């Protein structure tokens, strides 16, 4: 059994930022990441909204932070069991690691909605239907193309896939996908100026700083079209494209459109690790996201002494929000550890 | 003189009862629709009537069906109904023998012991008295059970028992009094004159001789009055089911069916419900979603008393589980459907604007996927694969655009609108002059079978695939994947397709759930309930899913796009339509390629 001051579960933006701030405060931090690579969902990102910052810059900054002498990073180490032992927390991983520490930070993040549950959208059935994550990977390698390797003439983005959807049991808004669709459509137009881009939405939610401006810009400078209506059905056409059907709820007419790529803006759900550890420790809240003790005044603390939360294991957040939350968590943990040694 | 004024309440009550009951019967029969009347005329003098009489004996008296479902409950109903019936018959025989005429006053059999104080001075007297006491004992035991059921229904193996209306309560209370009062009256007379049987004499011994002379008359009066109250309340209470069920059984045997519009037959069904409450226990809205005030028993009661609320009419999955369990055999979903029928509404909701689909001639099979199947494209892809493998010359009628079969509208009560769609589709289908219509959706299937007048047979793809396999037109690779089969409501209880899917699934390792065939659960995704709260709908789904996947099958197979969609979101097991599992296991036989478009068959 290895001893540490803090065990941080999850090597995404939240985990790394918190670990780094704790390390700077002279705490011995163990950072455990389930995957081979750290960075969580930043791993696949191309640029970040709302300022189109290159995601690789964020990754190298995060990587630098993990190099701090007080941090020991374990990759390929999925946490399977978290339990309370006397005044300590015990954290065990799938590969046999076993840690004991007075404090634990849960930063196990989110997972994206599995679009196969919405069979009518044809994900996993028609090759032209892809997720926003897959589209971002295409952008990253500079190859936006159809399954046949052709340049798409028309791309449709569909918002709220797996969010705000009673049928799949997720009533909440995932908060990042509207602005992400704006980002992706602009990036698509930058790489393929000829392509037509359509974005199908229920409402456009542009609540962050500069979001509204970006949304206008996408229309004025990049010719992105927005259609209010949820795509209800997708079917193949004779020439191997995709026909999408929806009701344009502004003009109140049924609409059919043929597209080459349909990009599903998949929503945010609690990751499996978040759900499982939350259950074990007893901090599971709605939709399996973890629950802090007070949203307004103690959003990093839980009802258990020494068990803290940071980032999207609590709810959908953007990267800046996640990082700020991680720093706040580090501060709380620092105070807690100091209170123990007094 | 075999008369005393206390017989008046009984006699008046009985006359009133017969008057009202016959008036009601007359009104209902006059209000039968043309088809129902025709069936009555056709069959009244046929063997069917004899069969009906047998059924009346079995169901209205012995309550055989209830007995099969719940023996204790069955005994309760039988002891009261059959016991009382025999008590009247034996009483009548006894009175006739005693009076020496068949035309003795009607009350003599009822109050026999009061008048026949001279013991058993007639042939078979002793034996008949014994029989009467025995019957009374049986009835009293049934009554005891009825009281227990009221107080604590779970003791009789029922989760829920029904709530009562005012007339019910009056009738029920008087019913509770009738037999104990009869016992006390007869016993008191027996203690004075020794004319009782093993039961009444014994009870009579317990009555102090000082009290007996004063108690005798009041007890007989009370007995007569309780009969009066019961008879007067009966036509307005649940007990109207006793006479009405007889008419129902006759009409049913003569071939009357519920039909589309309200009719006298509807009233007869509504009045035949005994409010046994078995339908409450059958209903998933009750046991999976905790709603216990909309079930068929309440629907029937409210419809009968004309106090129906929209909630009760519309909050129903139309799954048919209750009709399947109803011991009286009421066609509960069809009756409910009649009450959903909406009158013509002005506006543009008549679907005249739907674009016509060009019919295609020269094909053998028309494939109609259905709106719901378009939301599960993997079923469509699988069907195309199967058609191609079997080398079928088919036309995919609603591939690009299509007209809904009309059933979802009908289930919501929009009959006229639904009919417009039926006309449009019929024209397209009939003018193709094909040999067979295949659909992937049980809802469309039922609609085509029942609402359409088509010039070709209709098959659901389960039937069709079974046929292809039996004819060797397609073959499957051996597979030991464990599967459990879910019977969709509309295909199973709705259309009696039970064996075909199971025959197909013999090619896999088929395991049984606790809810097979008629007993199958609704997936919760029913289109018939437009007002059920989503969270409750999900509760129903999760319960059903839990039951079906109890033995951890690798695949949950169903045969309805709606069931598939409901269950997929439940995230418990791999869910496949039967067409998908078949298409995924087709043994590829070299065959000249048909004109199916290759790219559509690309599965990722
Ligand atoms: C499609 C998409 C695009 C986005 N684009 C942007 C953008 O442009 N700009 C922006 O600001 N935000 C964006 N976001 C939001 C951004 O991804 C999140 O804010 C951020 O990733 C949250 O970081 P996190 O550390 O909380 O969670 P995550 O990134 O999910 O990291 C969690 C980490 O925990 C690990 N983990 C999970 N379980 C265990 C376990 N049991 N044991 C060990 N480790 C475990 C995971 O492997 C992962 O590495 C986007 C989100 C999506 C879905
Ligand atoms: S952010 Fe936009 S796309 Fe995402 S769930 Fe909310 S409304 Fe839907
Ligand atoms: S509808 Fe049928 S099952 Fe329900 S209470 Fe009436 S008789 Fe019993
Ligand atoms: S049809 Fe189904 S949902 Fe409706 S009352 Fe009967 S059992 Fe309940």
Residue extents of the structural domains in chain A: 2-109+271-340, 115-267
Q: Say which CATH architecture domain A2-109+271-340 belongs to.
A: 3-Layer(bba) Sandwich (3.50)
| Band of residue B116 on the pLDDT scale cut at 50, 70, 90 | confident
Q: Ligand 2 pocket, A290 CB below 6 A?
A: no
Q: Rounded to whole angstroms, how far apart are CA atoms B579 and B561?
A: 11
pLDDT at residue B347 in the model: 60
Q: Tens digits of per-residue pLDDT, B399-440? A: 888 889 999 888 888 888 888 899 999 999 999 999 999 999
Size of interface A-B (CB pairs under 8 A): 44
pLDDT at residue B156 in the model: 63
Q: Which of the listed residues B252, B330, B336 should we mutate to test ligand 3's pocket, taking the one with most ligand atoms within 8 A of CB?
A: B330
| Band of residue B260 on the pLDDT scale cut at 50, 70, 90 | confident
Q: Tens digits of per-residue pLDDT, A262-273? A: 999 999 999 999
**pLDDT over 80 (residue B345):** no
Segment B208-233 shows an average pLDDT of 94
Q: State the helix-helix crossing angle for B264-271 and B241-253, rounded to 10 degrees.
A: 130
Distance from CA of A35 to the nearest CA of B (A): 24
* Residue B94 near residue B112 (C-beta atoms within 8 A): yes
How much distance in Å is there from the Cα of A26 to the middle of ligand 2? Answer: 40
pLDDT at residue B344 in the model: 66
Greatest C-alpha distance within chain B: 104
Domain boundaries A115-267, CATH class: alpha beta
Round the average pLDDT of chain A to a whole number and report it: 96
Q: Which of the listed residues A41, A134, A173 should we mutate to test ligand 1's pocket, taking the one with most ligand atoms within 8 A of CB?
A: A41
Asked if the Cβ–Cβ distance from B377 to A119 is below 8 Å, we say yes
**pLDDT over 60 (residue B594):** no
**pLDDT over 80 (residue B336):** yes
Please name the helix (run of DSSP H) or strand (run of DSSP E) that holds residue A8, with its range, or none. strand A6-9
Is ipTM beyond 0.95?
no
Segment B176-186 shows an average pLDDT of 94
| Band of residue B313 on the pLDDT scale cut at 50, 70, 90 | very high
Q: What is the dihedral of CA B185, B191, B196, B198, to 10 degrees?
A: 110
A122 contacts in B (CB within 8 Å)?
377
Asked if the Cβ–Cβ distance from B375 to A119 is below 8 Å, we say yes
Nearest to B566 by CA among B585, B542, B547, B536: B542
Taking the Cβ of residue B534 and every Cβ of chain A, the question of whether any pair is shorter than 8 Å is answered with: yes
Asked if the Cβ–Cβ distance from B568 to A120 is below 8 Å, we say no
Asked if the Cβ–Cβ distance from A119 to B571 is below 8 Å, we say no
Q: Rounded to whole angstroms, how far apart are CA atoms B335 and B267?
A: 10
pLDDT at residue B349 in the model: 65
pLDDT at residue B121 in the model: 66
| Band of residue B357 on the pLDDT scale cut at 50, 70, 90 | confident
Segment B535-542 shows an average pLDDT of 92
pLDDT at residue B265 in the model: 96
Asked if the Cβ–Cβ distance from B604 to A168 is below 8 Å, we say no
pLDDT at residue A177 in the model: 97
**pLDDT over 80 (residue B118):** no
User: Residue B557, CB half-sphere, CA atoms under 13 Å: how many?
Assistant: 26
pLDDT at residue B196 in the model: 87
Nearest to B507 by CA among B530, B484, B535, B476: B476
Asked if the Cβ–Cβ distance from B377 to A127 is below 8 Å, we say no
Q: Tens digits of per-residue pLDDT, B372-388? A: 999 999 999 999 999 99
Q: Of A236, A241, A258, which to mutate for an interface test with B (greatest number of B Cβ within 10 Å)?
A: A236
| Band of residue B593 on the pLDDT scale cut at 50, 70, 90 | very low
Q: Which ligand number lies closest to the CA of residue A113?
A: 1
Report the percent of chain A where pLDDT is more than 70.
100
A203-212: long-range contacts at Cβ-Cβ below 8 A with a sequence spacing of 24 or more?
Answer: A203/A228, A204/A178, A205/A173, A205/A175, A205/A178, A205/A179, A206/A178, A206/A179, A206/A182, A207/A175, A208/A50, A208/A179, A208/A318, A209/A50, A210/A50, A210/A51, A211/A49, A211/A50, A211/A178, A211/A179, A211/A182
Q: Tens digits of per-residue pLDDT, A196-240? A: 999 999 999 999 999 999 999 999 999 999 999 999 999 999 888
How much distance in Å is there from the Cα of B342 to the middle of ligand 4? Answer: 20
Segment A146-172 shows an average pLDDT of 93
Q: Is pLDDT larger for residue A280 or for residue A252?
A: A280
**Among the ranges given (A93-102, B159-168, B459-468), the one the predictor scored with the smallest mean pLDDT:** B159-168
Interface of A with B in 156-185 (CB under 8 A): 166-169
Q: What pairs with residue A309 in β-bridges?
A: A106
| Band of residue B48 on the pLDDT scale cut at 50, 70, 90 | very high
**pLDDT over 50 (residue B595):** no
Q: Tell me if domain A2-109+271-340 and domain A115-267 are identical in fold.
A: yes
């Amino acid at each position: 059994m290895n001893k540490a001051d803090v065990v941080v579960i999850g090597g995404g933006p939240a985990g790394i930022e918190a670990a780094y701030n704790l390390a700077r405060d002279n705490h011995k931090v163990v950072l455990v990441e389930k995957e081979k690579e750290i960075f969580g969902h930043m791993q696949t990102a191309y640029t970040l909204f709302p300022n189109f910052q290159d995601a690789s810059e964020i990754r190298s900054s995060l990587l630098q932070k993990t190099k701090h002498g007080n941090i020991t990073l374990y990759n390929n180490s999925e946490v399977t069991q978290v339990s309370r032992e006397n005044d300590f927390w015990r954290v065990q991983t799938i590969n046999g690691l076993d840690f004991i520490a007075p404090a634990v930070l849960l930063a196990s993040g989110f997972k994206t909605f599995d679009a196969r549950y919405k069979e009518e959208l044809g994900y996993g059935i028609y090759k032209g239907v892809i997720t926003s994550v897959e589209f971002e990977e295409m952008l990253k390698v500079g190859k936006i193309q159809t399954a046949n390797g052709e340049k798409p003439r028309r791309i449709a983005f569909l918002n709220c896939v797996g969010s705000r959807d009673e049928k799949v049991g997720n009533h909440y808004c995932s908060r990042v996908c509207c602005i992400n669709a704006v980002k992706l459509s602009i990036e698509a137009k930058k790489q393929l100026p000829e392509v037509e881009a359509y974005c199908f939405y229920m409402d456009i939610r542009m609540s962050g700083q500069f979001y509204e401006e970006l949304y206008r810009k996408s229309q004025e400078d990049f010719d992105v079209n927005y259609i209010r209506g949820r795509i209800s059905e997708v079917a193949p056409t004779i020439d191997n494209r995709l026909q999408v059907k929806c009701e344009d709820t502004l003009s109140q007419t049924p609409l059919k459109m043929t597209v080459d790529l349909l990009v599903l803006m998949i929503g945010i759900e609690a990751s499996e690790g978040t759900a499982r550890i939350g259950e074990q420790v007893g901090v599971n809240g709605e939709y399996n996201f973890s629950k802090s003790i007070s949203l307004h005044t103690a959003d990093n603390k839980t009802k258990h002494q020494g068990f803290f939360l940071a980032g999207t294991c609590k709810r959908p957040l953007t990267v800046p929000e996640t990082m700020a939350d991680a720093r706040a968590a580090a501060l709380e943990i620092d105070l807690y550890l100091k209170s123990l040694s007094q | 003189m075999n008369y005393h004024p206390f017989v008046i309440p009984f006699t008046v009550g009985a006359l009133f009862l017969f008057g009202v009951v016959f008036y009601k019967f007359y009104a209902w029969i006059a209000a039968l629709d043309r088809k129902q009347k025709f069936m009555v005329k056709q069959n009244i003098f046929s063997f069917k009537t004899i069969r009906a009489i047998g059924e009346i004996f079995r169901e209205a008296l012995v309550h055989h069906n209830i007995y099969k479902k719940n023996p204790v409950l069955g005994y309760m109903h039988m002891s009261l109904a059959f016991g009382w019936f025999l008590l009247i018959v034996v009483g009548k025989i006894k009175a006739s023998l005693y009076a020496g005429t068949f035309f003795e006053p009607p009350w003599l059999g009822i109050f026999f012991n009061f008048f026949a104080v001279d013991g058993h001075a007639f042939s078979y007297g002793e034996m008949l008295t014994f029989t009467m006491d025995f019957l009374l004992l049986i009835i009293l035991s049934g009554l005891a059970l009825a009281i227990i059921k009221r107080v604590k229904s779970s003791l009789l193996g029922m989760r829920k028992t029904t709530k009562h209306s005012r007339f019910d309560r009056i009738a029920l209370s008087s019913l509770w009094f009738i037999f104990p009062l009869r016992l006390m009256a007869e016993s008191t007379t027996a203690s004075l004159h020794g004319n009782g049987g093993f039961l009444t004499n014994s009870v009579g011994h317990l009555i102090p001789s000082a009290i007996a002379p004063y108690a005798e008359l009041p007890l007989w009066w009370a007995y007569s009055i309780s009969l009066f109250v019961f008879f007067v309340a009966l036509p307005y209470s649940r007990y109207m089911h006793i006479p009405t069920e007889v008419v129902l059984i006759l009409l049913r045997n003569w071939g009357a069916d519920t039909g589309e519009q309200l009719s006298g037959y509807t009233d007869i069904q509504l009045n035949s419900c005994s409010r046994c409450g078995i339908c409450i226990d059958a209903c998933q809205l009750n046991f999976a979603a905790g709603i216990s005030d909309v079930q068929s028993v309440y629907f029937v009661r409210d419809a009968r008393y004309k106090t129906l609320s929209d909630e009760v009419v519309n909050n129903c999955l139309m799954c048919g589980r209750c009709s399947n369990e109803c011991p009286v055999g009421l066609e509960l979903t069809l009756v409910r459907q009649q009450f959903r029928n909406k009158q013509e509404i002005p506006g543009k909701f008549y679907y005249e604007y739907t674009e016509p689909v060009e019919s295609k001639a020269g094909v053998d099979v028309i494939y109609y996927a259905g709106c719901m199947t378009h939301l599960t494209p993997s079923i469509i892809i699988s069907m195309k694969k199967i058609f191609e493998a079997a080398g079928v010359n088919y036309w995919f009628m609603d591939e690009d655009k299509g007209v809904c079969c009309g059933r979802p509208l009908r289930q919501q009560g929009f009959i006229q609108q639904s009919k417009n769609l039926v006309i449009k589709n019929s024209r397209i289908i009939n003018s193709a002059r094909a040999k067979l219509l295949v659909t992937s959706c049980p809802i469309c299937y039922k609609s085509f079978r029942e609402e359409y007048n088509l010039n070709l047979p209709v098959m659901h793809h389960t039937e069709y695939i079974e046929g292809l396999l039996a004819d060797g037109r397609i073959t499957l690779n051996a597979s030991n994947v464990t599967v459990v089969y879910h019977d969709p409501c509309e295909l199973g209880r709705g259309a009696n397709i039970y064996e075909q899917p199971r025959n197909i699934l013999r090619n896999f390792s088929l395991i049984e759930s606790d809810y097979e065939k008629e007993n199958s659960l609704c997936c919760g995704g029913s289109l018939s309930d437009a007002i059920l709260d989503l969270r409750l709908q999900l509760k129903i789904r999760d319960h059903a899913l839990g039951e079906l996947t109890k033995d951890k099958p690798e695949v949950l197979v169903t045969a309805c796009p709606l069931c598939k969609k409901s269950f997929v979101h439940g995230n418990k097991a791999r869910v496949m339509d039967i067409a998908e599992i078949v298409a995924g296991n087709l043994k590829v036989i070299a065959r000249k390629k048909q004109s199916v478009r290759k790219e559509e068959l690309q599965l990722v």
